[in-house]
Amino acid sequence: MKTIIEPFRIKVVEPIRMTTREEREQKMAQADFNPFRLRAEDVLIDLLTDSGTGAMSTRQWAGIMEGDESYAGARSFFRFEAAVRGVFGHRHVIPTHQGRASERLLCAAVVKQGDLIPGNTHFDTTRANIEASHAEALDIPIAEARDPENLHPFKGNIDLDRLAQVLEREHHRVPFVLITVTNNSGGGQPVSMENLRSAKSICQRFGVPLFLDAARFAENAYFIKLREPGFQDKSPREIAKEMFSYSDGALMSMKKDAFGNIGGVISLNSDSWAEKIRTLLILTEGFVTYGGLAGRDLEALAIGLEEVLEEDYLRYRIASTAYVGKHLEAEGVPLLKPFGGHAIYLNGRKFCEHLQDEQLPGWSLSVALYEHAGIRACEIGNVMFGRRKPDGSWQWPALDLVRLAIPRRVYTQSHMDYVVEAIGELYRKRQEIRGLTFVQRHDVLPHFSARFRKV
């Protein structure tokens, strides 16, 4: 059969609400043209993020009832620890309430002022946490990653030559290297096993630990199965275990590939780092066997980690995301290629060729998409990563993207057909999309809070 179906049936439904164009224009103006400021109720199809927005399974909901809420030593923690260790394989498993808590704890424990953290492309909160520690976050993806049309199968790869050069010169100020699988900010692109293996051997040469930012490790594992010679007959779990075997530790936002509505983890081998992190954990997150989560969350995450590695699920997940990409491509919409695992990325600059970088083409597109069809998307471009230089001029990122992130097990094919139709319509009248300018902008993670006006 060519048709790939959702490998589940629906047991509980949540209504979504249609709005009129007039209503949406008014809501968007009230939100100061920042989709993060909208009320979710006013959104028809919410593709802002795939983080914490997934649907839990019957098994996970049953697990919620099994949650052990004991303060210390809860049964749910040991289930969680076993589930994480069973895939990641590191000695220490430390729960946190979400990915950025893992980042903050790791940075507070081991990153010093003036340090340097190289990676394929750091996620926004990762970069922000590194910079908040007065260290430098260095993105060194392969050159192909900068070309949105290039069809390289592993555009998430780190540039190994540059990694070796950087470590040769700077290893004394590199506490760890961080590779993000899949590369979210770089378009949900996978990292190959070969690249992980080589990165590990380079890191080893300089005695620098390699960490994975593993929010979407299962999607990455499935891409390896599909695209990398020698992995066709391996299970996603076997592939994931091999990926982690090249790492000394990992951070994970479990709101992604663990089907959690909340949750995170730090998993690592170093005893001394684990001790520092646990001390900080107790200070701000909670005791070491719950780390800011309820016992029921730990239970749901442990089950989610198993479910995400099921091959039927991953086949459906990767194919249904590509479905959106293929149909948008047929409408002529400029996209980042190959299609990512969790999201399709519109090329904001190319979509809105009539807008200058200062007019924030990607962000303007995300606003227009809501006004046109009630769809909420997330800019990953000029607003998120644009920097003001000391002379007051702007430095824009290589790509100005709009991410259509697809929540896990939430929307059906007809929702996606609506999305494709709406974006196709908007593309045909793209000249009407008006640019925006900042009214207010904070320096740290500006996209969450900025206010804009139309120009």
Ligand X SMILES: *Cc1c(COP(=O)(O)O)cnc(C)c1O
Please list the active-site residues: 71, 123-124, 213, 215, 256, 447
Closest approach of ligand X to the CB of residue 226, in Å: 20
CA dist list (Å): 84 to 64, 196, 220, 304? 18, 20, 17, 10
Q: Are 423 and 331 contacting, i.e. CB atoms less than 8 angstroms apart? A: yes
The structure tokens 């995300």 sit at 366
Touching ligand X, residues 27-66 (CB under 6 A): 51
**Beta strand pairing call for 177-180 and 210-213:** parallel
The stretch near ligand X (CB under 6 A) out of 14-22, 121-129, 136-144, 196-204 is 121-129
Closest approach of ligand X to the CB of residue 359, in Å: 28
Closest approach of ligand X to the CB of residue 24, in Å: 26
Tell me how far apart the alpha carbons of residues 94 and 274 are, in angstroms, rounded to a whole number: 8
Query: Cβ neighbours of residue 331 under 8 Å, at least 6 residues apart?
Result: 420, 423, 424, 427
Tell me how far apart the alpha carbons of residues 346 and 294 are, in angstroms, rounded to a whole number: 37
Applying CB under 6 A, does 98 fall inside the site for ligand X? yes
Q: Are 423 and 328 contacting, i.e. CB atoms less than 8 angstroms apart? A: yes
Q: Are 305 and 87 contacting, i.e. CB atoms less than 8 angstroms apart? A: yes
For residue 274, what are its two tokens? 């684990």
Tell me how far apart the alpha carbons of residues 399 and 330 are, in angstroms, rounded to a whole number: 22
Touching ligand X, residues 320-379 (CB under 6 A): none
Applying CB under 6 A, does 213 fall inside the site for ligand X? yes
The stretch near ligand X (CB under 6 A) out of 96-104, 156-164, 306-314, 440-448 is 96-104
Closest approach of ligand X to the CB of residue 125, in Å: 5
Q: Which is nearer to ligand X, 76 or 98 (CB)?
A: 98
Closest residue by Cα to residue 320 from 7, 1, 4: 4
* DSSP code for 219: H
Closest approach of ligand X to the CB of residue 51, in Å: 5
Touching ligand X, residues 389-448 (CB under 6 A): none
Touching ligand X, residues 252-291 (CB under 6 A): 253, 255-256, 264
Number of residues in contact with ligand X under rule CB under 6 A: 15
Applying CB under 6 A, does 100 fall inside the site for ligand X? yes
Q: Which is nearer to ligand X, 126 or 364 (CB)?
A: 126
What residues form DSSP beta bridges with 212?
179, 250
Applying CB under 6 A, does 126 fall inside the site for ligand X? yes
Q: Are 241 and 87 contacting, i.e. CB atoms less than 8 angstroms apart? A: yes
Q: Which is nearer to ligand X, 200 or 255 (CB)?
A: 255
Applying CB under 6 A, does 99 fall inside the site for ligand X? yes
Applying CB under 6 A, does 125 fall inside the site for ligand X? yes
Applying CB under 6 A, does 121 fall inside the site for ligand X? no
Q: Which is nearer to ligand X, 164 or 262 (CB)?
A: 262
Closest approach of ligand X to the CB of residue 380, in Å: 11
Applying CB under 6 A, does 200 fall inside the site for ligand X? no
**Degrees (nearest 5) of the Cα angle 106, 109, 113?**
100
Note the residue count of the chain.
455
Which residues contact ligand X (rule: CB under 6 A)?
A: 51, 98-100, 123, 125-126, 180, 184, 213, 215, 253, 255-256, 264
